[in-house]
Amino acid sequence: MSEVYPIPAETAKNALIDEKTYKEWYDRSVKDPEGFWGEHGKRVDWIKPFTKVKDVSYNDDVHIKWFYDGTLNVAANCLDRHLAKRGDQTAIIWEGDDPSESAHITYRDLHERVCRLSNAMTEKGIKPGDRVTIYLPMIPEAAVAMLACARVGAIHSIVFGGFSPDALAGRIQDCDSSMVITADEGLRGGRKVPLKANVDKALETCWSVKNVIVVKRTGGAIHMVAGRDAWYEELVAKASPTHAPVEMDAEAPLFLLYTSGSTGKPKGVVHTTGGYLVYASMTHQYVFDYHDGDIYWCTADVGWVTGHSYIVYGPLANGATTLMFEGIPNYPTVSRFWDVVDKHKVNIFYTAPTAIRSLMREGEEPVAKTSRKTLRLLGSVGEPINPEAWNWYHRVVGEGRCPIVDTWWQTETGGILISPLPGATALKPGSATLPFFGVVPLMVDAEGKELLGATEGNLCIADAWPGQMRTLWGDHERFKQSYFTTYPGRYFTGDGARRDEDGYYWITGRVDDVINVSGHRMGTAEVESALVAHPKVAEAAVVGYPHEIKGQGIYAYVTLIQGEEPSEELRKELVNWVRKEIGPIASPDLIQWSPGLPKTRSGKIMRRILRKIAENDYGALGDTSTLADPGVVDDLVENRMNRV
């Protein structure tokens, strides 16, 4: 039996949703989804109100539409509609990498900045439906750029600033972006990131890009290409401060976000306008129990889906004050998070388990010396949170007073699917607990047979919810293959889970070839193809292994081409090679030189065996009799790299 933390009386008293309401709403949401969402769909402002709520099929062609005869504009929902009541309220608190730098941006100011950039983009020829790639650090201009795209009806594709020029180029080419918005340099932990130089490199192979807009962040020396590159500051200074938002169909794409799958290139997940905004804003309000006036901080980067839904769209649609942080948790000191909480009087704090685990290692003193008295609620996202980290977060950071919402969701889901609601759900450390309204989780075995009651299996979702992805950019076939064919008629999440006797869900991690490194999704296939692109590598196989801080580390088995000798130098060279090909987040933690890889007679690599060896669990390799050459396994075990 695991520990149970009841709902604190203080939380229950003020919460938007109590236990009884959760049960009533949830019941209705699954029995009468049309009625339920028809009502909650009205939480956003429609230009033309919808009369049709839902048209979904998970079979044959697979199509997903919500509120589909309505029209709206997302930027108008995040800005214009708040002006009368909250024009002077802070929309974004920006905290710079350097603790001496911060800013408050009101809704009125943000609205004006977005209007100016919208006009400047239109001037540069951007039209509804065009793709715009955003490659920016965590500065307010990132939110301005997203909202300006939404305002003019362009589809943004944000690429995380830690990705390499190659990775950026691939993401630009896949969707034929005609514009890139970037900065001269980024600043993280006192170190500069050469964003514009990376863009220049990427654009050597991208012919679709006509314009590059460059925000001046550090003032570092960069090269501007005449006729293609323009300074952001100059464009917005001469642009008009008013702009009429473009009326968009509910199902018009709002953004693309590339994420890793189990095979091949990253997938361009497509989210649309109406359903996404309804779902992002509703989950933000109820999961974080957001009350007017609360200061809310999500530490994610806008390069990930968490930054899209829970730094920008959800909070701003709700008229919230959202904090945007440029830096990292341990700069200039390991108290930084808590110093920022005190400086800006943060009430709601949302971060990833990997950050908690790395701060936990530094002991309690750096936390204890800060006040944190404004904190009321804590959140976790990105990977399973181990009970030890959960307890530390709860006891040390929240002083036992703040509930933790462990929110399970994915790039594909657009918003949170399984999570406690602070006033409605008793907590169990390590469990994401219960489904949000309208979400019907379903557990299946390997054959797709539904498992009932307390059980363990593969996690599917039975029906649609408004925030769900609609397709993969340019590849609807892959969309169907990836999510709807393993278990026909169901959305397959790629995650394994356990459901306990109280119906609580415990996510156990990916069951496919996706690994989760510090909360970042990586396809093992992507790292493998980067490795084999090196001239000295003949073959590579990559698996995840348990890592104390990162959750999972990257373990690569590498076979060199005939005549090449393993060396420490080559190991370093390969690590740097992968950093250059994909980005630092994909650096292998361990590389094992492997004279051969365990393969079946048909040539398929037996990853199950490689995973076991990487986990240092080589006593239980299971049946190896189908291997072409069982001898290779002995060598791999003998020279294994992880001996903890």
| Known binding-site residue numbers for ATP | 382-384, 406-411, 495, 510, 521
Smallest distance from the beta carbon of 621 to ligand 6R9, in angstroms? Answer: 25
| Residue stretches of the annotated binding site | 188-191, 306, 330, 382-384, 406-411, 495, 510, 518, 521, 532, 534, 537, 579
Smallest distance from the beta carbon of 566 to ligand 6R9, in angstroms? Answer: 33
Smallest distance from the beta carbon of 379 to ligand 6R9, in angstroms? Answer: 9
Piece in contact with ligand 6R9 (CB under 6 A), picked from 141-149, 227-235, 508-516, 564-572 = 508-516
**Cα–Cα distance, 373 to 504 (Å, whole number):** 30
Instruction: Tell whether residue 383 is a contact of ligand 6R9 (CB under 6 A).
Output: yes
Instruction: Tell whether residue 507 is a contact of ligand 6R9 (CB under 6 A).
Output: yes
Instruction: Tell whether residue 384 is a contact of ligand 6R9 (CB under 6 A).
Output: yes
Per the CB < 8 A criterion, the answer to whether 320 and 284 are in contact is yes
Helix/strand/coil percent split, the chain, to 5: 35, 25, 40
Binding mask 223-252 for ligand 6R9 (x = CB under 6 A): ------------------------------
Q: Which of 41, 261, 274, 382 binds ligand 6R9 (CB under 6 A)?
A: 382
Could you count the other beta carbons within 10 Å of the beta carbon of residue 221? 9
Smallest distance from the beta carbon of 308 to ligand 6R9, in angstroms? Answer: 10
Task: Output 146 or 352, the one with its CB closest to ligand 6R9.
Answer: 352
Give which of 268, 311, 275 is closest to 74, Cα–Cα: 275
Q: How many residues bind ligand 6R9 (CB under 6 A)?
A: 24
Give which of 240, 242, 190, 235 is closest to 216, Cα–Cα: 235
Piece in contact with ligand 6R9 (CB under 6 A), picked from 36-44, 56-64, 206-214, 402-410 = 402-410
**Cα–Cα distance, 596 to 636 (Å, whole number):** 8
Smallest distance from the beta carbon of 300 to ligand 6R9, in angstroms? Answer: 8
| Residue stretches of the annotated binding site for Mg(2+) | 532, 534, 537
Task: Tell me, rounded to whole angstroms, the distance of Cα 332 from its chain centroid.
Answer: 25
Residue nearest to ligand 6R9 (CB): 411
**Cα–Cα distance, 56 to 38 (Å, whole number):** 15
Smallest distance from the beta carbon of 493 to ligand 6R9, in angstroms? Answer: 6
Longest dimension (CA), the chain: 74
Instruction: Tell whether residue 510 is a contact of ligand 6R9 (CB under 6 A).
Output: yes
319, 329, 375, 495, 574 from 295: Cα distances, Å: 11, 19, 9, 32, 44
Instruction: Tell whether residue 494 is a contact of ligand 6R9 (CB under 6 A).
Output: yes
Piece in contact with ligand 6R9 (CB under 6 A), picked from 112-120, 203-211, 229-237, 505-513 = 505-513
Give which of 351, 277, 378, 281 is closest to 320, Cα–Cα: 281
Instruction: Tell whether residue 357 is a contact of ligand 6R9 (CB under 6 A).
Output: no
- Burial-class residue 61 by CB neighbours within 10 Å (0-12, 13-18, 19+): exposed
21, 148, 176, 233, 292 from 78: Cα distances, Å: 27, 11, 27, 23, 15
Give which of 491, 529, 489, 468 is closest to 260, Cα–Cα: 529
Instruction: Tell whether residue 512 is a contact of ligand 6R9 (CB under 6 A).
Output: no
Smallest distance from the beta carbon of 266 to ligand 6R9, in angstroms? Answer: 11
Smallest distance from the beta carbon of 93 to ligand 6R9, in angstroms? Answer: 23
Smallest distance from the beta carbon of 30 to ligand 6R9, in angstroms? Answer: 22
Secondary structure (3-state) at 617: coil
For residues 605-624, one letter each, b for 16 or more C-beta atoms within 10 angstroms of the residue's C-beta and e for the rest, the string is bbbebbbbbbbeebeebeee
Instruction: Tell whether residue 410 is a contact of ligand 6R9 (CB under 6 A).
Output: yes
Q: Which of 11, 321, 482, 516 binds ligand 6R9 (CB under 6 A)?
A: 516
Q: Which of 279, 408, 479, 577 binds ligand 6R9 (CB under 6 A)?
A: 408
Smallest distance from the beta carbon of 516 to ligand 6R9, in angstroms? Answer: 5
Piece in contact with ligand 6R9 (CB under 6 A), picked from 248-256, 360-368, 507-515, 586-594 = 507-515
Sign of torsion over alpha carbons 67, 73, 74, 78:
negative
Could you count the other beta carbons within 10 Å of the beta carbon of residue 393? 27
Smallest distance from the beta carbon of 3 to ligand 6R9, in angstroms? Answer: 18
DSSP calls for 294-310: -EEEE---TTSHHHIII
Q: Which amino acid is at 254?
A: L
Q: Which of 432, 469, 511, 582 binds ligand 6R9 (CB under 6 A)?
A: 432
Per the CB < 8 A criterion, the answer to whether 219 and 184 are in contact is yes
Secondary structure (3-state) at 375: coil
Binding mask 96-135 for ligand 6R9 (x = CB under 6 A): ----------------------------------------
Per the CB < 8 A criterion, the answer to whether 439 and 417 are in contact is yes
DSSP calls for 133-149: EEE--SSHHHHHHHHHH
Applying the rule CB under 6 A, the residues between 256 and 295 that interact with ligand 6R9 are: 259
Task: Output 222 or 469, the one with its CB closest to ligand 6R9.
Answer: 469
- Burial-class residue 642 by CB neighbours within 10 Å (0-12, 13-18, 19+): middle
Q: Which of 29, 164, 177, 407 binds ligand 6R9 (CB under 6 A)?
A: 407
Give which of 63, 66, 64 is closest to 50, Cα–Cα: 66
Q: Which of 40, 394, 521, 599 binds ligand 6R9 (CB under 6 A)?
A: 521
Q: Which amino acid is at 12?
A: A
Q: Match 């490689």 to its residue by tokens.
A: 610
Smallest distance from the beta carbon of 272 to ligand 6R9, in angstroms? Answer: 17
Per the CB < 8 A criterion, the answer to whether 299 and 325 are in contact is yes
**Cα–Cα distance, 414 to 176 (Å, whole number):** 23
Task: Output 17 or 352, the one with its CB closest to ligand 6R9.
Answer: 352
Piece in contact with ligand 6R9 (CB under 6 A), picked from 57-65, 100-108, 299-307, 471-479 = 299-307
**Residues facing 591 on adjacent strands:** 556
Q: Which of 141, 406, 513, 528 binds ligand 6R9 (CB under 6 A)?
A: 406
Task: Output 90 or 411, the one with its CB closest to ligand 6R9.
Answer: 411
Q: Which of 11, 71, 351, 411 binds ligand 6R9 (CB under 6 A)?
A: 411
Q: Which of 254, 305, 348, 377 binds ligand 6R9 (CB under 6 A)?
A: 305
Phi, psi values for residue 463, rounded to 5°: -125, 175
Piece in contact with ligand 6R9 (CB under 6 A), picked from 23-31, 301-309, 525-533, 612-620 = 301-309
Instruction: Tell whether residue 381 is a contact of ligand 6R9 (CB under 6 A).
Output: yes
Piece in contact with ligand 6R9 (CB under 6 A), picked from 101-109, 227-235, 491-499, 624-632 = 491-499
Instruction: Tell whether residue 457 is a contact of ligand 6R9 (CB under 6 A).
Output: no
Residue ranges binding ligand 6R9 (CB under 6 A): 259, 304-306, 380-384, 406-411, 432, 493-495, 507, 509-510, 516, 521
